[in-house]
Amino acid sequence: MIREFAPGDEKSIAALETECFSSPWSRAAILQSRNNGTAFIVFEENGKVLGYAGLQMVLDEGYVTNIAVTKSARGRGIGKSLVGALISLAKDNGLAFISLEVRESNTPAISLYTKCGFKDFGKRKNFYQNPTEDAVIMTKEF
């Protein structure tokens, strides 16, 4: 089930960050982002957070902060459900578009975003570290 962020979710989100990313956000960074207006949603099953996504909204623009699904739950459509929920959230808030960066080598994620209607809008050179890699900018317009 997908639901909005609840107090205490920052611990589960931080654990997902550590599992999924080479430069993970800390619990403090997650809470700071939330306090600054980032909307977080989580995918929960049997009381356990299996995935999450964040969307920063500025005027009519949306920027995906991160999407993560625990490795043991991948391939079950959780990422697609989270992306769909972000798209609905963006539409409900009257956003003109949502945009994100994804590692150039992350072909499963790029494929998912493409299937969800995102288009390649360019690259950010050396955007990622550990290892250094370009980001593909993907955007879905409404």
Give domain limits for the chain: 2-141
- Print pLDDT tens along the chain (142 aa): 999 999 999 999 999 999 999 899 999 999 999 999 999 999 999 999 999 999 999 999 999 999 999 999 999 999 999 999 999 999 999 999 999 999 999 999 999 999 999 999 999 999 999 899 999 999 999 9
Strand locations in the chain, DSSP E? 2-4, 39-45, 48-58, 61-69, 97-103, 119-128, 133-141
The CATH number corresponding to 2-141 among 2.60.120.10, 3.40.630.30, 3.20.20.70, 3.40.50.1370 equals: 3.40.630.30
* pLDDT tens-digit map of 37-50: 999 999 999 999 99
DSSP-derived letter for residue 76 is S
| Nearby residues of 85 by Cβ (< 8 Å), 6 or more positions away | 2, 41, 53
- Give catalytic residues, as residue numbers: 101, 113
pTM, two decimals, is 0.93
